[in-house]
Amino acid sequence: MFNWVKTTILMAAIVALFGAVGLVIGGKSGMILALVLGGGMNFFSYWFSDKMVLSMYNAQEVGAASSPYLYNMVRDLSQRAGLPMPRVYIINEAQPNAFATGRDPEHAAVAATTGILEMLSERELRGVMAHELAHVKHRDILISTISATMAGAISALANFAMFFGGRDEEGRPVNPIASILVAILAPIAAMLIQMAISRAREYEADAGGAQISGDPNALADALLKIEHYAKGIPMVTAQAHPETGQMMIMNPLSGSDLAGLFSTHPPTQERIRRLRQMTAR
């Protein structure tokens, strides 16, 4: 319950940030318009953000016939977790990564890159997909997808403020320095809010995934391998849309550019340490 209260507060902060950017662009009228737009985007995100993210990554849905290895693995883990069978997607990306999306367990989807399918052993991949199903079970997927959509919108709105400026209630141009500051600080603030939402949930999904797969060390081994290889393999779509990085099991921007400094994921070594402790217990 506490996590849901915390998440609700943080999502309200994102909408408030949306309003603050609107205030700089168009005064009180701009703030009201931005808040209405933010509320509308939350509504849109609830129903369509999963489709938008999957389309953004050009994810291809697979079934038992087209990809029996991955599909049957997800089906087995879903049954172990007591979850409905999610839709299964493959993303043609060399970087090893995976994510889950959807508005609830009945409308969930899990996606894995070709890189992670090629790189991990069956045992390690089960650990990863169990982690993603734990996100589904904990109902994290809606929050992460909505926060990604809203953070992207805030960045676009902030860029608009910088390049086109804004006007106050009397129609006078806003101080250009204020517009520049908003363009710089608003996306950073949105990313920090995403970090607050995501980090605790990653630890919980690690623990939940370990319980679903029954093998905490499998996920620990997978995380160690993914981190080692992901840093050297760029993911073009994630670089173009860094707000979606928090949905992945591993930060896809890690070490690739400045956005990697604002990681929405907890330190990998700490995640591994906790999983090893679960095995010891």
- Give the C-alpha separation, 18 to 24, whole Å: 10
For residue 128, the model assigns a pLDDT of 98
- Give the C-alpha separation, 233 to 152, whole Å: 23
More confident residue, 75 or 142: 75
For the four alpha carbons of 41, 42, 47 and 51, in that order, the dihedral sign comes to: positive
Residue 88 · residue 61 · CB < 8 Å: yes
132, 202, 227, 243: which one is catalytic?
A: 132
Count of residues for the chain? 281
Q: What is the pTM of this model?
A: 0.78
Average pLDDT (176-203) is 70
218 token code pair: 């499998």
Residues 244-256 pLDDT 10s: 888 899 988 855 4
Element (H, E) at 233: none
Residues 113-141 pLDDT 10s: 999 999 999 999 999 999 999 999 998 87
Q: Tally the domains of the chain.
A: 1
Q: One-letter amino acid identity for 142? A: L
Average pLDDT (148-171) is 63
Strands (E), the chain: 60-62, 87-91, 98-102, 108-113
Average pLDDT (34-47) is 74
SS3 content of the chain, % helix, strand, coil (to 5): 70, 10, 20
By DSSP bridging, strand 108-113 and strand 98-102 are antiparallel
Residues 195-242 pLDDT 10s: 666 677 899 999 999 999 999 999 999 999 999 888 789 998 988 888
For residue 170, the model assigns a pLDDT of 56
Q: Cα dihedral angle (176, 177, 183, 186), rounded to 10 degrees?
A: -130
**Alpha helices, H only, 57-88:** 68-81
Its domain, for residue 71, covers 2-280
- Give the C-alpha separation, 270 to 9, whole Å: 26
Q: One-letter amino acid identity for 234? A: P
- Give the C-alpha separation, 276 to 219, whole Å: 10
Evaluate if residue 50 carries a pLDDT over 70: yes
Element (H, E) at 205: helix 176-213
* Half-sphere exposure for 35 (CA within 13 Å, toward CB): 12
Element (H, E) at 224: helix 216-230
Radius of gyration of the chain (CA): 20
| 132 is known as an active-site residue | yes
81 token code pair: 């977790």
DSSP 249-260: SS-TTTTTSGGG
- Of all residues in the chain, the percent with pLDDT exceeding 90 is 43
